[in-house]
Chain A
């Protein structure tokens, strides 16, 4: 589709208009670079350079799309950094991968895609039409405030909230342990809000899930996550609070409300953390079917934390955690294939 568009764009190229021609050529070159990158990534995936993680991620995202009644993404490929192409619908996952621990990042990237796919019928100006609530909200807020940054930050906040709501604590565990550096927790970039805000929105969503989760398991898990994050900040002398942002704060709140109110997405929302705990209580190779991939991933974190609590020797911990990761990966594959 993009190639066709570039092709027709070049067909009507007017050599006299140098500026326009330069732009069109640049676009075509970008497309070629993108295509080459895609082919390289696809090859990398084919020769299992990513240890099979992107194909696992893609199969998982497909099951979620089916369950939520959403279209499937085009493809998941390994890449130098994470990114979701909204037009191509290609989800890129960063190499090197962190094994199953990093798998929930695919849900965050999928969140960008979902934001553009969440549609509902609504009456506007007396006419019933399809609206894309998240995209509409982000566009309208960003243009009203004349702050394009708001659009990108809002997108990230929504995807974080979506990942926490769908993958449960497994996503936040990964962010805290592997991704977010407490020392730079207040840093804001052109595309991403601060880590403090991103963790805050995740914990807000998890708190909401925990209040409805039977058995009290999620309440304890979220309290543990909060403790760990705050301890990391405190150890580095970093202020745990986020400065108020009059634009992004209300937007963050609205996005969370939109996410949790969506009926389709409620079908893939994480719940029943007790089931993950129950999975973690038995060796994974002796398990029957897991309720879902998400439960298997959260069970892996439960096991990992139990190991870290029981063991003192860091080498033993590392070995046992690797064993859990390997067993979980096999188990997730089984759940996807037979689930």
Chain B
């Protein structure tokens, strides 16, 4: 019997693994092309200097004839002024190009996990792949290729300058890259991979720990999903699975519990209001277990202050989700059962114990975001009023800790500005863009504190009224 099929597939796999190994080179080549493009303002600047020098010479000449032809001098001076203005604009573009170039270079040079995990896996697999072990390795190879494609596509999308007046995609993912650092180090390891735009959110851990943020929302509102992706990475690192269950639903619910503890209600809002489908709450389905776990996690955290703002917000989210399930002809009873089931409580409890540290009585401590909930609520007010400049990031400072917690606080503040503890506090639809714009501007101040204000995300301005 021939082995043509296998040999062909091994050859294809090897060729692709080689490509994976050369990922850095591929990206460097792409960045080299982009580099030439980014050099354009600098090249133009040199040409402009020539024109500027010539205009000055012309002006000196026109000055000699100013009595005979005063108009000539005026015209030449006007030309010089125009060149000066172009020069200033060009300088601004040079600065922006320089910043973009730096960020793109950092994209790969500082995100070591891609090299450490993805390329290492490819290097290990390629020489050892034979017709005898192809099928044993096929799943892993497919996952590697999928990740490779996601990475390339993600880097391309991030560097293409997509976006609108409010935010560039690259800005958004620059923030996304920093979100896992809110979790601190996991057994001495800290995440240094990439967050990339993808068709679907990351639902499982990947070789290179790449975190995927799924369409349709590549906006600040979807940023909390990065934390779900990292929840899978964290659980894998800590080698934890739901007690007695190793299925995909429990794994996703565990990542949800972790993401909720690490981020706060922003994650619950994003998951319940943007992603999970209430129509799929029809039994012990993924949507049922995940939504229940998220809400049970918030409830456990809020339990210490049963009349407090978090408890009120949690009750509201719970009621809204129940209504959504009912409206979508889902099974509210299934959701209630999942809320009461030991699984959601166990996952929430484990996530809190893992991430929060324990107090003297052995109970999980309050998350930092809850300790700063007053600050977060105040920031939410500033964001809703279109005055993000009133947010002082120093208020988020925590002692003896280098985690950029302000990112979580701004994310929570943005969601709290959009969804209040009661319906009357919800932001009107026309204010959502203002909130998002202000929040991104503040988060960029955290991730690149010394940079200029981003082009499109400067002062958010007063709330816009809808056009009539």
Chain A residues within 8 Å of B, Cβ to Cβ: 214-217, 219-220, 223-224, 272, 274-282, 288, 302
Q: List 24 A-B contacts (CB under 8 A).
A: A215-B377, A215-B380, A215-B381, A215-B416, A216-B308, A216-B309, A216-B422, A217-B309, A217-B377, A219-B307, A220-B308, A220-B309, A220-B311, A223-B307, A272-B378, A272-B381, A274-B309, A274-B381, A277-B374, A278-B374, A280-B374, A281-B372, A281-B395, A282-B395
Does A278 contact B422, Cβ atoms closer than 8 Å? no
Nearest CB in chain B: distance from A25 CB, A = 59
CB contacts (< 8 Å) of A279 on chain B: these are 374
Nearest CB in chain B: distance from A313 CB, A = 12
CB contacts (< 8 Å) of A272 on chain B: these are 378, 381
Does A277 contact B307, Cβ atoms closer than 8 Å? no
Distance A22 CA – B288 CA, assembled complex (angstroms): 87
CB contacts (< 8 Å) of A215 on chain B: these are 309, 377, 380-381, 416, 420-421, 425
CB contacts (< 8 Å) of A280 on chain B: these are 374
Distance A275 CA – B425 CA, assembled complex (angstroms): 16
Does B374 contact A275, Cβ atoms closer than 8 Å? yes
CB contacts (< 8 Å) of B381 on chain A: these are 214-215, 272, 274
Distance A324 CA – B307 CA, assembled complex (angstroms): 24
CB contacts (< 8 Å) of A281 on chain B: these are 371-372, 374-375, 395
Distance A214 CA – B309 CA, assembled complex (angstroms): 10
Beyond A214-B421, A279-B374, A282-B375, list 13 extra A-B contacts (CB 8 Å): A214-B377, A214-B420, A216-B309, A216-B421, A220-B308, A220-B312, A272-B378, A274-B378, A275-B374, A276-B374, A277-B374, A281-B372, A281-B395
CB contacts (< 8 Å) of A275 on chain B: these are 374, 378
Residue of A nearest to B381 (CB): A214
CB contacts (< 8 Å) of B308 on chain A: these are 216-217, 220
Distance A198 CA – B377 CA, assembled complex (angstroms): 31
Closest 3 CB pairs of A and B: A277-B374, A223-B307, A216-B309
Flag B384-421 by CB within 8 Å of A: 1 or 0 each.
00000000100100000000000000000000100011
Distance A110 CA – B374 CA, assembled complex (angstroms): 30
Distance A275 CA – B421 CA, assembled complex (angstroms): 16
Nearest CB in chain A: distance from B320 CB, A = 15
Kindly state whether residue B298 has any CB partner on chain A within 8 Å: no
Does A217 contact B425, Cβ atoms closer than 8 Å? no
Nearest CB in chain B: distance from A40 CB, A = 43
Residue of A nearest to B315 (CB): A216
Kindly state whether residue B305 has any CB partner on chain A within 8 Å: yes
CB contacts (< 8 Å) of A274 on chain B: these are 309, 374, 377-378, 381
Distance A214 CA – B312 CA, assembled complex (angstroms): 12
Chain B residues within 8 Å of A, Cβ to Cβ: 305, 307-309, 311-313, 371-375, 377-378, 380-381, 392, 395, 416, 420-422, 425
Of the candidates A224, A276, A278, A302, which one forms a contact with B395 in the assembled complex, judged by CB atoms under 8 Å apart?
A: A278
CB contacts (< 8 Å) of B375 on chain A: these are 278, 281-282
Residue of A nearest to B313 (CB): A216
Distance A276 CA – B377 CA, assembled complex (angstroms): 11
Does B378 contact A220, Cβ atoms closer than 8 Å? no
- With contacts A220-B307, A220-B309, A223-B307 known, is A214 near B425, CB below 8 A? yes
Does B371 contact A277, Cβ atoms closer than 8 Å? no
Distance A272 CA – B312 CA, assembled complex (angstroms): 17
Nearest CB in chain A: distance from B41 CB, A = 40
Distance A281 CA – B396 CA, assembled complex (angstroms): 9
Nearest CB in chain B: distance from A324 CB, A = 16
Nearest CB in chain B: distance from A153 CB, A = 31
CB contacts (< 8 Å) of A216 on chain B: these are 308-309, 312-313, 421-422
Distance A217 CA – B375 CA, assembled complex (angstroms): 12
CB contacts (< 8 Å) of B309 on chain A: these are 215-217, 219-220, 274
CB contacts (< 8 Å) of B307 on chain A: these are 219-220, 223-224
CB contacts (< 8 Å) of B421 on chain A: these are 214-216
Of the candidates B312, B313, B373, which one forms a contact with A277 in the assembled complex, judged by CB atoms under 8 Å apart?
A: B373
Does A278 contact B378, Cβ atoms closer than 8 Å? yes
Residue of B nearest to A223 (CB): B307
CB contacts (< 8 Å) of B378 on chain A: these are 272, 274-275, 278
Residue of B nearest to A291 (CB): B378
CB contacts (< 8 Å) of B377 on chain A: these are 214-215, 217, 274, 277-278
CB contacts (< 8 Å) of B374 on chain A: these are 217, 274-281, 302
Distance A240 CA – B307 CA, assembled complex (angstroms): 21
Nearest CB in chain A: distance from B347 CB, A = 26
Does B395 contact A220, Cβ atoms closer than 8 Å? no
Residue of A nearest to B384 (CB): A214
Nearest CB in chain B: distance from A269 CB, A = 17
Residue of B nearest to A218 (CB): B309
CB contacts (< 8 Å) of B373 on chain A: these are 277
CB contacts (< 8 Å) of A220 on chain B: these are 305, 307-309, 311-312
Nearest CB in chain A: distance from B314 CB, A = 11
Distance A223 CA – B312 CA, assembled complex (angstroms): 12
Nearest CB in chain A: distance from B376 CB, A = 8
Distance A288 CA – B378 CA, assembled complex (angstroms): 14
Residue of B nearest to A221 (CB): B307
Nearest CB in chain B: distance from A215 CB, A = 4
Distance A274 CA – B371 CA, assembled complex (angstroms): 12
Distance A280 CA – B311 CA, assembled complex (angstroms): 20
CB contacts (< 8 Å) of A214 on chain B: these are 377, 381, 420-421, 425
Nearest CB in chain A: distance from B385 CB, A = 11
CB contacts (< 8 Å) of B372 on chain A: these are 278, 281
Residue from A214, A277, A281, A302 having most chain B Cβ neighbours under 10 A: A214
Residue of B nearest to A279 (CB): B374
- With contacts A274-B377, A278-B378, A288-B392 known, is A219 near B371, CB below 8 A? no
Nearest CB in chain A: distance from B116 CB, A = 38
Distance A288 CA – B375 CA, assembled complex (angstroms): 13
Distance A224 CA – B304 CA, assembled complex (angstroms): 12
Distance A282 CA – B397 CA, assembled complex (angstroms): 9
Nearest CB in chain B: distance from A73 CB, A = 32
Residue of B nearest to A306 (CB): B371
CB contacts (< 8 Å) of B371 on chain A: these are 281
Distance A214 CA – B423 CA, assembled complex (angstroms): 11
Distance A192 CA – B308 CA, assembled complex (angstroms): 33
Residue of A nearest to B375 (CB): A278
CB contacts (< 8 Å) of B313 on chain A: these are 216
